Chain A
Amino acid sequence: DQQVKQNSPSLSVQEGRISILNCDYTNSMFDYFLWYKKYPAEGPTFLISISSIKDKNEDGRFTVFLNKSAKHLSLHIVPSQPGDSAVYFCAASRSNFGNEKLTFGTGTRLTIIP
C-alpha cells in the first residue's frame, strides 16, 4: 500500500521554463512533507519542506505547495536549469513522529532540456 505516490515516473522540461512535480498521499495523518533530490550515483539531498500549517513554502527557485483537502503537494522549480536534472523524491511524516516513520514516494526523474 503506497501511501505516498508520485504518479509521473519522468518529466521533461525546457530550460528556463517551470517544472512542476506532483505528489499525492493517502494518509490524512501526514502533516509534514519534504522533497529530496538525487543525482545518479549519489545519495538523496534535502531540498525543501512544508508543514501542514502552511500551504506554501518558498526557497529561491523552489516552491512547495500543499493542498490538504486534496492530499496533494507539488514542487515548482522556476526557472528550470540543466543542473536541476535529477530524481525528485517526495516524503511525508506525522506529528509526534519523525524520521523513523518517514514514508517516501517512488520518485520522478526530471530532465531539463537545454
Chain B
Amino acid sequence: NAGVTQTPKFQVLKTGQSMTLQCAQDMNHNSMYWYRQDPGMGLRLIYYSASEGTTDKGEVPNGYNVSRLNKREFSLRLESAAPSQTSVYFCASSPRVYSNNSPLHFGNGTRLTVT
C-alpha cells in the first residue's frame, strides 16, 4: 500500500521551461491537493480537486495548472517556470475536502529548483 506517490523527487529547471509533477494515490480518496512549502512559510494550497472531474484554485494558483486525470491521479503543470516557483511541492489526498474531519495524506514531496 503505497499511499500517495509523487514523481519526480527532484527537478532542476531553467527559467521558462515547463514540466509536470505527477501524483497518484491508491487509497480510493475522492479529494486531492497540491501544496508548496517555502522556508519561513507554512504549507500553502495551490490547487485542489474535490472529486474526479473538478478542480479549484487554492491560495496561490498563479503560474500553475492542474489536471485530475482520473480518481487516482492529479498532476501539476508549470508552463513557464520562474525562480519564484523554487519550492518543495507536496501532493495530498483525503476522503473528502469539504469536511474538517478528513485529514490529509501527503506524498514525500518534489524538490524543484528553477535557475
B42 and A99 form a contact (CB under 8 A): no
8 A Cβ contacts from B1-59 to A: 4, 31, 33, 40-45, 48, 50, 56, 58
Q: Which of B96, B105, B107 contacts A98 (CB 8 A)?
A: B96
CB atoms of A99 and B31 under 8 A apart: yes
Name the A residues within 8 Å of B97 (CB-CB).
Answer: 98-100
On whether A98 and B102 interact (CB within 8 A), knowing A43-B90, A44-B90, the answer reads yes
Residue-wise interface mask of A (36-61) relative to B, using a CB-CB cutoff of 8 A (1 in contact, 0 not)? 10000111111001010000000000
* Interface SS, B side: loop
CB distance from A108 to the nearest CB of B (A): 11
Give the chain A neighbours of B58 by CB distance below 8 A. 100
Asked whether any CB of chain B lies closer than 8 Å to the CB of A63, the reply is: no
Contacts of A34 in B (CB 8 A): 103
Docked-complex contact B108 and A41, CB < 8 angstroms: yes
Interface residue count for A (Cβ, 8 Å)? 27
B94 within 8 A of A: yes
Choose from A36, A44, A98, A107 the contact partner of B99 (Cβ within 8 Å). A98
B58 to chain A, nearest CB (A): 7
Partner of A43 from the list B56, B102, B108 (CB cut-off 8 Å) is B108
Task: List the A side residues contacting B56 at CB < 8 Å.
Answer: 100
Chain A interfacial positions (CB closer than 8 Å to B): 2, 4, 32, 34, 36, 41-46, 49, 51, 89, 91, 93, 95, 97-100, 102-107
Report which B residues bind A (CB closer than 8 A): 4, 31, 33, 40-45, 48, 50, 56, 58, 90, 92, 94, 96-109
- List 9 A-B pairs, Cβ < 8 Å: A2-B42, A36-B104, A43-B90, A44-B90, A44-B106, A98-B99, A100-B45, A100-B97, A103-B42
